[in-house]
Amino acid sequence: MLRVDDLHVTVPGGAEAVRQVSLSLHKGQSLGLVGESGSGKTLTCRAILGVLPPGVAVSGGRVTLGDTDLTALTRTGWDRVRGSRLAAVFQDPGSYLNPSLTVGRQLAEQLRLKRGLPRRATRAAAVELLAAMGLRRPGTVYDQYPHELSGGMLQRALIAIAVAGGPELLVADEATTALDPAVQAEVLDLLRDLRERDGLALLLVSHDLAVVAQVCDRVAVFYAGEIVEQGPTAEVIAGPRHPYTEALLSVASLGDWRRRTLQVIPGRPPEPGTPVAGCRFAPRCAYASGVCADPVPMSTLDDRAVRCHRAAELALVGA
Ligand SMILES: Nc1ncnc2c1ncn2[C@@H]1O[C@H](COP(=O)(O)OP(=O)(O)OP(=O)(O)O)[C@@H](O)[C@H]1O
Ligand SMILES: [Mg+2]
């Protein structure tokens, strides 16, 4: 359903912040994107959604949703796709809602625009959708302003607005990160329900592997703008094939490893634009050898993909 083929994203100054990213997602599937801060997760999502920041552009590759080539869409084309076929929720729900309009008005407007509901039918549909998002007293929530809702309620309201048009794909970039753990778990349950109930495909960015493990069938591990490993979440966690994934897993129990990995794995990732001929992780890798100076293609075996010259050899050592 969603296919990303060899995506490259360039930031102002010409540096590539995302390179050779390929991934795919079927109906009702969920894929988690993990990796250190600055590894290119958000830019990948934004490229898919067609909402890159000013000066940042797709410089190579293709993104297709069903039969639609998103990378070739015009502005009007995007208006038809965004909100209807793909939708997004981000970390700070408050900033995506208009503070001077009730939650219900904003949701009703989406239902009118995206589902073509007549104005008189939108209130009932909106209240029903708020209830489906697990909001208690949805009729009351309808008439409330964003500042009157808690973070968890706001995120549910925002998810309601995102799914109002019945999208095929929902992109959630750190959507539950700011919430209390208990509320976060509830919102993740909601995302899982939407996937199971409505066949929504989910692309979930999280710095927390536990979150990805809870929600996503598959995971893609980002390092310095590239995917270094991809596969079924349970398999990747049980038996990582890339040394970086292994290192990430070893620090996962420390909590927010986005900030800590830099200290736990000595060294830091190359800045975007730094010319690197071989493996971008090699300077920090405990297993690096001479061969790692050569360009590393992604190699695929069964349902797993890994970008490491020594993966097969290291798996044999670990076995
Ligand atoms: N608007 C921009 N202008 C210039 N560089 C940018 C811009 N947005 C992102 N970058 C750079 O692109 C790289 C990838 O950024 P991105 O936001 O995708 O990382 P991320 O994996 O989402 O990180 P985080 O976990 O902190 O959200 C980073 O090096 C970042 O500095
Ligand atoms: Mg990000």
pLDDT digits (tens, 9 = 90+) for 25-58: 999 999 999 998 899 999 999 999 999 999 999 9
Specify if 182 maps to a domain.
no
Specify if 235 maps to a domain.
no
Specify if 153 maps to a domain.
yes
Specify if 44 maps to a domain.
no
Rounded (10°) angle between helices 181-198 and 151-163: 20
- Model pLDDT for residues 202-239, shown as the tens digit of each residue: 999 998 888 898 899 999 999 999 999 999 999 999 88
User: Using CA positions, which residue lies closest to atom 28 of ligand 1?
Assistant: 38
- Of 138, 166, 194, which residue is a domain's last? 166
CA–centroid distance, residue 38 to ligand 2 (Å): 7
CA–centroid distance, residue 35 to ligand 2 (Å): 10
- The per-residue pLDDT for 247 is 85
- The count of domains in the chain is 2
- Give which of 134, 83, 131 is closest to 111, Cα–Cα: 83
User: Using CA positions, which residue lies closest to atom 18 of ligand 1?
Assistant: 40
More confident residue, 267 or 158: 158
DSSP state of 277: S
Specify if 89 maps to a domain.
no
Percent of the chain beyond pLDDT 90?
69
Specify if 184 maps to a domain.
no
Q: What is the DSSP string of 151-217?
A: HHHHHHHHHHHHHTT--SEEEEESTTTTS-HHHHHHHHHHHHHHHHHH--EEEEE-S-HHHHHHH-S
Rounded CA-CA distance 10/85 in Å is 26
- Of 106, 132, 166, which residue is a domain's last? 166
Q: Which residues contact 61 (CB under 8 A, 6 or more apart)?
A: 4, 5, 6, 7, 8, 21, 22, 71
Whether the pTM exceeds 0.85: the reply is yes
CA–centroid distance, residue 85 to ligand 2 (Å): 22
Atom in ligand 1 nearest the alpha carbon of residue 225: 14
Adjacency order of strands within the sheet including 68-69: 16-25, 2-10, 57-65, 68-69
Atom in ligand 1 nearest the alpha carbon of residue 44: 18
Specify if 78 maps to a domain.
no
Question: What is the domain extent for residue 306?
Answer: 241-318
Which of 33, 36, 41 gets mutated to test ligand 1 (max ligand atoms within 8 A of its CB)? 41
Adjacency order of strands within the sheet including 304-306: 86-89, 169-173, 201-205, 30-35, 218-223, 226-232, 304-306, 299-301
- Of 120, 151, 166, which residue is a domain's last? 166
Task: For residue 291, give the amino acid letter.
Answer: V
**Taking CB atoms and a 6 Å cutoff, what residues make up the pocket around ligand 1?**
11-12, 17, 35, 37-43, 53, 56, 207, 258, 272
Q: Residue 2, SS3? A: strand
